[in-house]
Amino acid sequence: MKESQLRYSYAKVNLHLHIGGVRPDGFHDLFSLFHLIDLHDDITVLTKDDGSGALSIEGMPFLSAEQNLMGKASRLFLERIHRETDSVHMTIIKRIPVKGGLGGGSSNAATVLLALNDMYGSPLTTDVLLDLAGRIGSDVPFFIHRVPAAVVEGRGEIVRPVPARDDLHALIVIPAGDGISTADAFAAFDRLQNKDISTKSLYKFSTVCHMYMKPVEHWKFSNDFKDVVVKLNEVYRRIYEIGGSERHLYTTVSGSGSSCVFVSDSGPVEINRLDFTEVERTQVININTILLNKA
């Protein structure tokens, strides 16, 4: 029997996200600044050489082990090292909201790959782990690198670490409801896109690093999903409006939604001090956190 230590599986936010053209594989090229936040799920993994090949996950009853990316990660890992008949039991304490654009499922999958690789004595190199990660989902490779911030390009496989600041606070605001699926958001983006708009990123890696070091009120980052999410739900329009009136904050949507992020470099952001009405406050989940400067 092998048992992993408890591992933190951190969430991320996208501070900038540009969507490029559609690639021959049907995915979109991306150019995005990913940043870990201090919000994590807790995962432990237990394996047994019992020949049963059983798979179970405790802590996420709303998703079958087969649908869960943690299950996909463990199956791919065991196949790759020819130990398919080992059984795997995982437990998770889930704090990262599902379908929140915070990378929870991708982070969990990366955590399982890294845990299993440690437990089996590092049979796979980082390059092989990255290959498995890319087969699980576009955001998973970022989490394999275990860096607090990075510019992520291609479908998600090109990860260039960025030195992270230690003075950034964030308030995450998530409209109550079902969340937005990534595939639906990309499809809506394609429908809405004005074909005259260039799919080339205006930013280079150096531009992003330079901008990131500036005071938050001067950040000129953006997220190309903004137009999609404001059409899907009026709450997003309000959130941008409220953020726009707080000049010292940077406001954005993370990933393809549904989380919105208010970033501050002058202390925590309190939801009660933002211009939400009483009713609007009851229509959102809010989480105070910091942007991590080490993984």
Choose the catalytic residue: 12, 72, 99, 226: 12
Specify whether 12 is catalytic.
yes
39-68 binders of ligand C5P (CB under 6 A): none
Identify which of residues 113 and 249 has a Cβ nearer to ligand C5P in the complex: 113
Specify whether 139 is catalytic.
yes
1 binds ligand C5P (CB under 6 A): no
Using H for helix, E for strand and C for coil, what is the string for the chain?
CEECCCEEEEEEEEEEEEEEEECCCCCEEEEEEEEEEEEEEEEEEEEECCCCCCEEEECCCCCCCCCCHHHHHHHHHHHHCCCCCCEEEEEEECCCCCCCCCCHHHHHHHHHHHHHHHHCCCCCCHHHHHHHHHHHCCCHHHHHHCCCEEEEEECCCEEEECCCCCCCEEEEEEECCCCCCHHHHHHHHHHHCCCCCCCCCCCCHHHHHHHHHCCHHHCCCCECCHHHHHHHCHHHHHHHHHHHCCCCCEEEECCCCCCEEEEECCCCCCHHHCCCCHHHHHCEEEEEEEECCCC
138 binds ligand C5P (CB under 6 A): yes
Compute the least distance from the CB of residue 123 to ligand C5P, in Å. 25
28 binds ligand C5P (CB under 6 A): yes
Exactly one of 71, 137, 141, 175 binds ligand C5P (CB under 6 A); which one?
137
182 binds ligand C5P (CB under 6 A): yes
Exactly one of 13, 17, 30, 96 binds ligand C5P (CB under 6 A); which one?
30
# residues near ligand C5P by CB under 6 A: 11
27 binds ligand C5P (CB under 6 A): yes
Q: Which residues are known catalytic residues? A: 12, 139
Binding site for ligand C5P (CB under 6 A): 27-28, 30, 137-139, 155-156, 182-183, 186
